Amino acid sequence: MTNLNIAEAMGKLVQGPGRALAAPLLLLLLYPGATGAPRAEDSSLQRALGLIQAAFAGGDAARLAPLLPTQGKVHLSLPALDISPGYYSAGQCRYLLADAFGRHPVRSFSLEPPADPPASPRVSVRGRLRAGPPGQEGEPIAIHFLLSREDEAWTLREIRQASRP
């Protein structure tokens, strides 16, 4: 239904017997989130979190590609995986993470979802990673991920090891 058709339908509704329904219907058309249904941005955030989960659980850095910035850099700091702190391009991030996953095979990974839907264009989530050669997995590594909403998509801006698990 085009905007013109919607306007015509609303005009007829307001003039006819459906006048009492006009305000609630208009509210739902203008503010789809008023129903409590998930907003589009919530589902796009869930897709972004799913990509992080898949990339780290599977040890597949390439799966992060849709989240890495086309402009600017990502702050990457994972000393437990031999990645020195720094700001890296998307290609450098993929390379460094792929190399780290090769040297430190992933044993397990879990991502904690954000507590509440984002109220700002930035979301911070935390994950727990166990990685290493068989018999040398060591302690879990706590990792913070910072996502930023840019141009209607979520972009990964930071992947850093937390000071405590």
- DSSP label at 66? G
Q: Is the pLDDT of residue 39 over 50?
A: no
The model's pTM is 0.72
- C-alpha radius of gyration, the chain, whole number: 22
How many Cβ atoms sit within 10 Å of the Cβ of residue 19?
A: 10
* Between 101 and 7, residue with greater pLDDT: 101
The string of pLDDT tens digits covering residues 120-157 is 789 999 999 999 877 776 789 999 999 999 888 999 99
Q: How far apart are CA 41 and CA 35, in angstroms?
A: 15
* One-letter identity of residue 3: N
Give the pLDDT confidence score for residue 120 in this predicted structure. Answer: 79
Residues 6+ apart with CB under 8 A from 149: 41, 118, 121, 122, 123, 155
> Chain-centre distance of CA 160, in angstroms?
15
* Contacts (Cβ under 8 Å, ≥6 apart) of 105: 59, 131, 132, 133
Given a contact cutoff of 8 angstroms between Cβ atoms, the answer to whether 74 and 144 are in contact is: no
